[in-house]
Amino acid sequence: MNSETDVLIVGAGPTGLTLGIDLARRGVPALVVERGETLTPGSRGKGLQPRTLEVYEDLGVLDETLAAGGPYPAGMIWADGRQRGEQAMFDPARDGEEGSRFTAPWMVPQWRNQEILRARLEELGGTVAFGREVVRVDQDPDGVTAHFATGEPVRARYAVAADGGRSTIRRALGIAMTGEPVDPNPLLVADVRITGLPRTWWHIFPTTGTDTGTGFLAICPLAGTADFQLVAQFPEGTDIDLSLAGVRKVVAERTHLAPEDVTEVRWSSDFRPRAALADRYRAGRVFLAGDAAHVHSPAGGQGLNTGVQDAYNLGWKLGAVLTGRAPKALLDTYEEERRPVAAYVLGLSTAIHHQRARRGPTTRQLGLNYRESSLTQETRPTPATLHTGDRVPDLTTNGTRLFDHLKGPNWTELTLEDDLFLIRPDGYVGWAGKPGMATELLEEYKARVGF
């Protein structure tokens, strides 16, 4: 493992791997380190939202992602061992409604998602160093030195903590997380093999009443695998049994299935849903991303996707600064842009958890924007439908997709209906004006962002 690099990325989850890919395709030396000996197992965050699928297309992992997963099934409500009717899991979407080829989430178990991202990182020449637990990070004006539980330290110009909700680096930096529990009742989540349930539906077994002390149970077929993801709620204070016997017991108590219908537990975990946001996303040369910066209720499938897009935002900015094309001040806009997005998404996830909102257009993340960012500059007297700060829609003109022209790690200059747009590497409109006008402002903007 190299003892020096430009960017040290701590954590080989979807956020860290996405950032590694984005930097690798820019030719920026980066090293991803993971404290575990392998990629994290388990289905965990299994839903990829339409905006994340667009990001994956740009990063070159879309085909593998689509092949590895599938669409979400409808819910089937069960009671007393009988099917009581289907339940739509998402508000319907019309094709092209939001200028995207994707209209609904795509299910890929997180362990498989990580395998795909790691393969792409290695294809681009990057690597993941396993068994490297960061225990301390020192900073000085020129860089960061990371110290590990074993092995030599690594020196980097910048470091990114993508090491999860219990982030060691965030705590070491003294950055607090502000938030609260979403639900006092803990959850069991497990990847299991089950007989006796068709893979046609997401099976939902509602709570059987507060007097029994039991909560809901949901069993979802995991696309692209022979597994099901089981989620069960328990009363506050329950010591959840994660073993095969424990999972069999809860299935037998809450469904019409027999204990032996659960043939295998492949992975299991327990947690209490909470929502929290880091007070800062940066301390000197160290940035927070993904769950290290924000933790969500799993309702609505927002956490993993928000982390991937953190990386997609930070990657092009680190690349521009490290290659000398943009001033260091560009990095200040990472927190400015991503923290408000996370605050909004946290509120949305909590509302869905408490059934005050539904999965639909807001959870697809296509409408998230940076209109209030200092990187957003509008010089047109009367902006049209496409505003600065907005995600560029996937338009098709004369049989050609606009996204085909936007692919890659660079800015794009686009003239459309007598308007000139500068499209950021992450697919958002940075600057807009009229061709031939505001030339000085345009050149100043290009210098500021590393166009």
pLDDT at 88: 84
Distance, CA of 277 to CA of 339 (rounded, Å): 8
366: number of Cβ within 10 Å: 22
Report the alpha-carbon distance of residue 226 to residue 48 in Å, rounded: 19
E strand or H helix that includes residue 255: none
Residue with tokens 């990070």: 137
pLDDT in 10s for each residue of the chain, 451 residues: 678 999 999 999 999 999 999 999 999 999 999 999 999 999 999 999 999 999 999 999 999 999 999 999 999 999 999 999 998 877 777 666 679 999 999 999 999 999 999 999 999 999 999 999 999 999 999 999 999 999 999 999 999 999 999 999 999 999 999 998 899 999 999 999 999 999 999 999 998 655 444 689 999 999 999 999 999 999 999 999 999 999 999 999 999 999 999 999 999 999 999 999 999 999 999 999 999 999 999 988 899 999 999 999 999 999 999 999 999 999 999 999 999 999 999 999 999 998 888 888 889 999 999 999 999 999 998 887 889 999 999 988 778 899 998 999 999 999 989 899 999 999 999 999 998 888 899 999 999 999 9
Helices (H), 328-438: 333-353, 402-406
C-alpha span between 153 and 135 (Å, rounded): 10
Inter-residue contact 203 to 221 (CB < 8 Å): no
* Number of C-beta neighbours around residue 418 at 10 A: 9
pTM: 0.96
- With tokens 């409604």, the residue in question is 97
What is 90-151 written as a DSSP string? S----TTTTS-S--S-EE--HHHHHHHHHHHHHHTT--EEES--EEEEEEETTEEEEEESSS
CA-CA distances (angstroms) from residue 18 to 59, 67, 93, 237, 444?
8, 19, 27, 37, 30
Quote the tokens at residue 265: 């537990």
- Residue 299's pLDDT is what? 87
Q: Which of 329, 13, 280, 378 is nearest to 162 (CA)?
A: 13
How confident is the model at residue 450, as a pLDDT? 94
275 contacts 291 by C-beta, under 8 angstroms: no
Closest residue by Cα to residue 167 from 277, 308, 272, 271: 277
Neighbours of 180 (CB within 10 A): 8
Check: CB of residue 250 under 8 Å from CB of residue 217: yes
CA distance 335 to 341: 10
Helix (H, G, I), strand (E, B) or coil at 229: strand
State how far the alpha carbon of 69 is from the alpha carbons of 54, 63, 108, 342, in Å.
Answer: 16, 10, 5, 26
